[in-house]
Structures are given as C-alpha cells and as structure tokens.
Amino acid sequence: MQKPFNFEAQKTLDILSAGAFLTTRSEGRLNTMTISWGAIGIMWGKPVFAAMVRASRFTHGLIEAAGEFTVSLPSQDMQKALGLCGSASGRDIDKFEAAKLKPAPSAKIKTPRIDCKGTHYECITLVKADMTPQNAADEVKKTWYQDNDYHTFYFGEIVNTEIVD
C-alpha cells in the first residue's frame, strides 16, 4: 500500500520546531514567513498539514486569497534566513531578496516552494478555522493571546511532497 507521507515523524517535528518556511502568493505578491507550530496527519481521509497564522501577519491576507501554500522544512542550515523571515514582514520588505532566498516551482500548485534542501509540502486549503476567545482555554489565552492576536488554522491537503537532497 502506498503511504501518504514519506517522513520520520520525530525528525520532521524536530525540523519544524526549529523553523520552517510557509510560503504564499497572491496576485503576484510572493512572501514567506517562519513557522514552528503545525500538525501533520490524516484528516478528511487525506494527508494534511495544519498551519497556524496569526491575523496580524501579512501572510494571513495572502493565504486567505490564494487558498494554497507551501511548507518547506529545510535539512540544511537556514537559521539566518529563518530569523529574518520570522521577524520582518512582507508588508515592509521583499524577504526573498533580503534573505537571499530563491523560489522553486511546485509540481501541483501555483505557489512556489523555497529552493533549498529538505522536505517540501504543496498544500491546498481544505478547511480554515479561526481561533476565538470563546473557543480557547483560559490558560492558552493568558499565555499566548494577551494581545488578542489569534491564530487561524489552515488545514491544507498535501497534494505533493518533494524531497530535495
């Protein structure tokens, strides 16, 4: 039986928690931001990556409009670029230029991936869900959302996985 994923779970989660790139493009505007939270699993009978994007991010508007995104989990040292893409906003600068990143075409969606060694997921949003003060536990609100900048979850079907060695 063909397996929907091609990864070792712990290794993938270790890379994600150190930082991955969430890339979006809408109306010709390409942007990437660093993520370290997310989930990978089977949902609605499909392989899914769930990304969490706060409403304040430039990425939020792009991912809403595009309905798709890529996630690049680097296997080479990208700490400098991850630091920049996790602190600067695409509203203010072109992060590809600033971090010397290159886009590479995806196989199944229009949004490109980052041109680097690692695992790349091409995702089409199946479901999105807004976090609200009503649906979060007090402890979570107190720790993470004192500024009311809640995440939206984007559950993307992984329509293609590319591994670049």
Ligand X SMILES: Cc1cc2nc3c(=O)[nH]c(=O)nc-3n(C[C@H](O)[C@H](O)[C@H](O)COP(=O)(O)O)c2cc1C
Residue ranges in contact with ligand X by CB under 6 A: 19, 31, 33-37, 52-54, 57-59, 86-91
What is the DSSP-derived secondary structure letter of residue 12?
H
CB of 159 to ligand X, least distance (A): 21
> Which one, 26 or 89, has the nearer CB to ligand X?
89
> Which of 93, 163 has the CB closer to ligand X?
93
In angstroms, the CA 20 to CA 118 distance is 10
Least distance CB 148 / ligand X (angstroms): 14
Minimum CB–partner distance for residue 104 and ligand X (Å): 19
The SS3 call for residue 9 is: helix
Q: How many CB atoms lie within 10 A of CB 44?
A: 9
Closest contact distance (angstroms) between CB of 67 and ligand X is: 17
Burial of 78-94, coded b for 16+ CB within 10 Å and e otherwise, reads beebbebbeebebeeee
Between 93 and 127, CB nearer to ligand X: 93
How many Å apart are CA 165 and CA 151, to the nearest integer? Answer: 33
Q: Which residue is nearest to ligand X (CB)?
A: 86
Nearer to ligand X, 120 or 151 (CB): 151
